[in-house]
Amino acid sequence: MFKILDRYIIKTFFGPFFFIFSVLFFIFIVNIVWIQLGQFMGKGLTTLQIMKLLFYLGVNVVSMVLPLTILLASIMSFGEFGERYELAAMKAAGISLTRVMMPLLGVVTIMAILLYFFSSNIIPDFQRKAKNMLFNIAQTKPALNFTPGQFIDQLPGYMVKFDKIEGEEGRDLEGVFIHKKASTFENQQTITAQKGRFALAKNKNYQQLILYNGYIVEDSYAGKSENVRLKQPDQAIKFDTLVTHFDISEIINKAIEQEKITEDYRFQNFNELFGNIDKTKKDNEKLTTNIGNEVLSQTSSVVSYMDKNKTKAPVKSQFKLDTIKVDKKLEMIYNAHSRLDNLKTTLDSKNQELNPSVKYFNKIVIYQQRMVTYSFTCIIFFMIGSSLGSIIRKGGMGVPVIVAIVIFIIFYVINVGFENIAWSGKMDPYLAAWLPNMILFPFGVLLTYKALTDSQLFDSEKYKTFFKPVTKLFVKDKEHKRYQ
């Protein structure tokens, strides 16, 4: 009997589970489209390339979609059990709520374990593929963001316009106009050509452009007065073929979010991250030591003076400030203030130098711990969802969806909040990664206890009765007029 019941419970759970997972996955994918792919949509990529990139980027959201799906599916399935009085029938047959929850708890535990292995082994590979694909788009699609007939500034330091963009991957150009952005103290330069073609340079940080039949118009009076500018005309040089290079490293770095493609910590699994954490920790300790030595060297005179006073008698050159003349006193105060101000400036600059290293270390730790914490989040969300569902006793997409969204928003805000605090170096990253689960776990235990004891947690009449002595103090009982 129990085996049949277990199959029925699991079947009821997986009905809404697959539907909710597909809907949430689609919502997260749409969010990625708006945030990550806006600059690439409709710019020359094929449908297959867009779909492939979406899939690579979308795999990463599974670690966030699965806990939310378990929460919502648990509330809906147990809510349906309560709404159809199936929980009451099970309890009448001597089957406790704990026994009803056990098969799904086993299924969710298996999902949590699979999520850990998925996050540790599958997601890093797809992260690497997505990053490298973004890098390749920036490298092999030089005319990706160019629109024919419009002035654009995608190439750093230049304003360009192409009348026509044709050929394979948009490499062939017609009607080329290139203007170099220059300040008042730099020479102005403009290049025009009938035709041009993009080509790959040996250095991947540069984009090669071959121009045919054109002119280079340049002035050579940078920084000179206006009278000289009026007297001296621009210089024009005609060319048949001109090969020029544009520095596109800024575009590439922007496309890959300023990360090294081959050495990104998000390309590593759980065990590999331990080595990265140890290496980063040692580098930070070395950097901290160097910074400390630099700061101490700046204040060496003060430190040596303090050390001298610890071991020897007070120095005879010490004077009371009140016994010194006014001019000398002001000079001493000014010198002391200047030294402290310089020391403060040095400390601020060194702190800014240290912050990126601390943030990077905390990012690696949190990323590694999230592979484990999200698996425990699945189990905690099941405890909360199944308990709320049996208490609320409402199925469908109404109340369960609202309750699940509220809980998930609370979890997400706590998660991101502690993450930002850890990145700033004000909290231990291990604690920041586990604290959301530590906060929600007692809440899940409490709800499970309330569900097992048939608590009237959401019964409005119970709360009205509880607060009735207080409300009586502010509300007068109105007698019927006929009895007055």
Tell me if 355 sits within 8 A of 264, measured CB to CB: no
Residue appearing with tokens 């779909």: 51
CA within 13 Å, CB half, 261: 14
CA distances from 203 to 6, 248, 293, 430, 450 (A): 62, 10, 39, 41, 66
Contact 205, 213 (CB under 8 A): no
> If pLDDT is split at 50, 70 and 90, which confidence band does 76 have?
confident
Could you tell me if 217 and 239 are in contact, meaning their C-beta atoms sit under 8 angstroms apart? no
Instruction: Give the closest residue to 411 by CA, choosing from 367, 450, 376.
Output: 376
Q: Quick check: 121 pLDDT over 60? A: yes
Residue 265: pLDDT band (50, 70, 90) is: confident
pLDDT tens digit string along 407-431?
A: 888 888 998 899 888 888 788 889 9
List of residues 6+ apart from 6 with CB closer than 8 A: 103
Which of these ranges, 132-136, 151-155, 455-459, has the smallest mean pLDDT?
455-459
Residue 112: pLDDT over 90? yes
pLDDT of 93 reads 81
Cβ(104)–Cβ(13) below 8 Å: yes
Would 260 be classed as within a structural domain?
A: no
My answer on whether 364 and 378 are in the same domain is no
Look at residue 356 in the predicted model and tell me its pLDDT.
Answer: 78
Sorted by sequence, the CB contacts under 8 Å of residue 88 that are 6+ apart come out as 82
Return d(Cα 368, Cα 429) in angstroms, integer.
Answer: 10
Q: How far from 478 is each of 16, 126, 484, CA to CA, in Å?
A: 50, 70, 10
Q: Pairing relation of β-strands 235-247 and 189-200?
A: unpaired
Q: pLDDT tens digits for 153-187?
A: 767 778 888 888 887 667 788 899 888 877 666 77
End-to-end, the C-alpha distance of the chain in Å comes to 65
Q: For residue 323, what pLDDT is reported?
A: 65
- Containing domain of residue 451, as a range? 2-140+373-466
Residue 284 lies in a domain: yes
Say if residue 313's pLDDT is above 60: no
Number of structural domains the chain divides into: 3
29 and 122 housed in the same domain:
yes
- Kindly state whether residues 240 and 287 are assigned to the same domain: no
122 and 14, same structural domain? yes
244 or 201, which is more confident? 244
Does residue 399 carry a pLDDT above 80?
A: no
Q: Are residues 411 and 352 in the same domain?
A: no
pLDDT above 70: residue 108: yes
**In contact, 264 and 127? CB cutoff 8 Å:** yes
Cβ neighbours of residue 469 under 8 Å, at least 6 residues apart? none
Cα–Cα dist 391/95, whole Å: 17
Q: What is the pLDDT of residues 203-258, one digit of tens each?
A: 767 778 889 999 888 876 655 666 666 666 667 888 889 888 877 666 555 544 44
Q: What is the pTM of this model?
A: 0.63
Note the pLDDT of residue 222.
59
* 340 and 454 assigned to the same domain: no
Q: Of 352, 368, 384, which residue is a domain's last?
A: 368
SS3 content of the chain, % helix, strand, coil (to 5): 65, 10, 25
What pLDDT is recorded for position 260? 46
pLDDT of 38-72, one tens digit each?
555 545 566 777 787 788 888 888 888 999 899 98
Report whether pLDDT(404) > 90.
no
Task: Kindly tell me if the per-residue pLDDT of 278 is higher than 60.
Answer: yes
Q: 294 and 226 share a domain?
A: no
Question: Model confidence at 377, in pLDDT bands (50, 70, 90)?
Answer: very high
Q: How much is the pLDDT for 109?
A: 94
What is d(CA 25, CA 69) in angstroms, rounded to the nearest whole number? Answer: 10
Contacts of 399 (CB under 8 A, 6+ apart): 79, 392
Which amino acid makes up residue 462?
Answer: K
Q: Does residue 351 sit in the same domain as residue 379? A: no
Q: Which residue has the higher pLDDT, 215 or 36?
A: 215
- Kindly report the average pLDDT of the chain as a whole number: 76
Q: Are residues 382 and 401 in the same domain?
A: yes
The model's confidence at residue 111, banded by pLDDT at 50, 70 and 90, is: very high
Q: What pLDDT score was predicted for residue 51?
A: 80
Rounded-to-integer distance, Cα 229 and Cα 222, Å: 9
